[in-house]
């Protein structure tokens, strides 16, 4: 049977067409909640069309949807081994590894995320949220609770703010924050106007006052964080700017339902201000390291 046929003026690859039909069937079953049947369809298709990465991608997604983290991790690792490079697959491996609390080295010695490697998949922004972590499509209610964040807010002692890295934002960006605070221009979050004065204080070096104001906004909006993505992201970014990395990590753990801890840190020897280094030390606790220059850009 020919692998390519001509329909009108178009050349159609039969293998891609047939593989696509299996993917459509599996997704239809998945949408109906018939996960086991969808997996059966994809297993058969993978045997016939092993060169199609979309089949492996969907097959791994089904394991995630079933809540089977070990199976998901195994499938994502197989996908990356056969089709090296996609940042989305690397991210999924990271999430599955944390869920299963594995301590192996990153696959293929991948140890950083950044635009040089994954420009097609990741934003050039240095924002922690937009460049590294993404809200999952449909987290269950129990995964969207803010339990670890609430516990940390209640138990964490006051932090010394003397060692915070200065924020070197442009005058234009500070003026924009002034306008947001005064409600002169539209904001992308319901809490942006409340956070803007605190961010301006932080930019002026008053991290202690800024942190108190941001924590107050966070405490007043904890219930909305579970319902409104823009509020969650705004608060996460504000905490990152004042360098409360413990709370940033707690919010991300709450978001993804991760029980095991991981660290967020800033170093002067980072890869680049648009990159995040991923380390897994001997103790197995993941660490994400930002270049200190991340605080020298308006996109912090």
Half-sphere exposure of 50 toward its Cβ, with a 13 Å CA cutoff? 4
Last residue of a domain, one of 76, 110, 144: 110
Q: Are 260 and 98 in contact (CB under 8 A)?
A: yes
Q: Do residues 170 and 64 share a domain?
A: no
Q: Do residues 243 and 180 share a domain?
A: yes
Q: Are 236 and 248 in contact (CB under 8 A)?
A: yes
Range 263-266 contact pairs with CB under 8 angstroms and sequence separation of 24 or more: 263/287, 263/288, 264/128, 264/288, 264/289, 264/290, 265/289, 265/290, 266/165, 266/290, 266/291, 266/292, 266/294, 266/295
Q: Do residues 163 and 72 share a domain?
A: no
Q: Do residues 132 and 275 share a domain?
A: yes
Measured distance CA(196)–CA(235) in Å, rounded: 11
Q: Do residues 148 and 214 share a domain?
A: yes
* DSSP character at residue 108: G
Q: Do residues 136 and 276 share a domain?
A: yes
Q: Helix, strand, coil shares of the chain as percentages rounded to 5?
A: 55, 10, 35
74 inside domain? yes
Q: Do residues 92 and 36 share a domain?
A: yes
71 inside domain? yes
Query: Containing H/E element for 237?
Result: helix 229-241
Last residue of a domain, one of 83, 110, 137: 110
119 inside domain? no
Q: What is the pLDDT along the chain (300 residues), one digit of tens a residue?
A: 344 434 444 443 446 667 778 888 898 898 888 999 999 999 998 888 888 888 888 999 899 888 888 898 888 888 888 877 555 666 566 566 656 644 334 444 333 333 333 333 323 333 333 333 333 434 334 334 677 888 788 777 777 878 899 999 999 999 999 999 999 999 889 999 999 999 999 999 999 999 999 999 998 888 788 788 899 999 999 999 999 999 999 888 888 776 677 888 888 876 676 677 777 766 667 778 888 888 988 877
pLDDT of res. 290: 87
b/e burial code for range 198-208 (CB count within 10 A of at least 16 → b): bbbbbbeeebb
Q: Do residues 93 and 221 share a domain?
A: no
pLDDT of res. 87: 53
45 Rama sector, left if φ>0, alpha if ψ -120 to 50, beta otherwise:
alpha
229 inside domain? yes
260 inside domain? yes
123 inside domain? no
Structural domain that includes position 151: 128-296
pTM beyond 0.85, yes or no: no
Q: Do residues 105 and 142 share a domain?
A: no
Split into its structural domains, the chain has a count of 2
Measured distance CA(89)–CA(63) in Å, rounded: 14
Q: Do residues 288 and 139 share a domain?
A: yes
Half-sphere exposure of 92 toward its Cβ, with a 13 Å CA cutoff? 29
Last residue of a domain, one of 110, 142, 169: 110
CATH code: domain of residue 82: 1.25.40.10
Q: Do residues 62 and 134 share a domain?
A: no
For residue 90, the cross-strand partners are none
118 inside domain? no
pLDDT of res. 253: 84
Q: Do residues 104 and 133 share a domain?
A: no
146 inside domain? yes
Query: Containing H/E element for 7?
Result: strand 4-7
């Amino acid at each position: 049977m020919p692998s390519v046929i001509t329909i009108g003026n178009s050349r159609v690859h039969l293998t891609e067409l047939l593989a696509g039909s299996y993917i459509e069937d599996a997704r239809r079953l998945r949408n109906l909640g018939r996960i086991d049947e969808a997996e059966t369809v994809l297993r058969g298709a993978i045997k016939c069309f092993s060169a199609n990465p979309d089949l492996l991608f969907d097959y791994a997604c089904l394991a995630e949807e079933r809540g089977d983290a070990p199976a998901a991790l195994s499938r994502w690792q197989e996908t990356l081994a056969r089709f090296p490079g996609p940042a989305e697959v690397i991210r999924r491996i990271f999430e599955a590894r944390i869920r299963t609390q594995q301590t192996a080295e990153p696959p293929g010695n991948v140890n950083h995320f950044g635009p040089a490697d994954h420009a097609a998949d990741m934003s050039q922004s240095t924002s922690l949220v937009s460049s590294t972590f993404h809200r999952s499509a449909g987290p269950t209610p129990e995964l969207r609770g803010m339990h670890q964040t609430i516990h940390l807010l209640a138990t964490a002692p006051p932090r010394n703010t003397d060692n915070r890295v200065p924020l070197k934002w442009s005058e234009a960006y500070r003026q924009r924050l002034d306008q947001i605070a005064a409600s002169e221009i539209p904001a992308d979050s319901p809490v942006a106007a409340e956070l803007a004065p605190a961010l301006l204080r932080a930019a002026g070096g008053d991290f202690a006052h800024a942190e108190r104001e941001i924590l107050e906004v966070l405490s007043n909006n904890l219930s909305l964080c579970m319902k409104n993505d823009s509020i969650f992201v705004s608060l996460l970014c504000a905490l990152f700017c004042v360098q409360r990395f413990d709370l940033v990590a707690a919010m991300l753990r709450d978001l993804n339902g991760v029980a095991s801890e991981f660290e967020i840190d800033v170093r002067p020897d980072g890869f680049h201000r648009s990159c995040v280094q991923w380390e897994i030390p001997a103790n197995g606790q993941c660490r994400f390291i930002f270049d200190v220059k991340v605080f020298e850009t308006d996109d912090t």
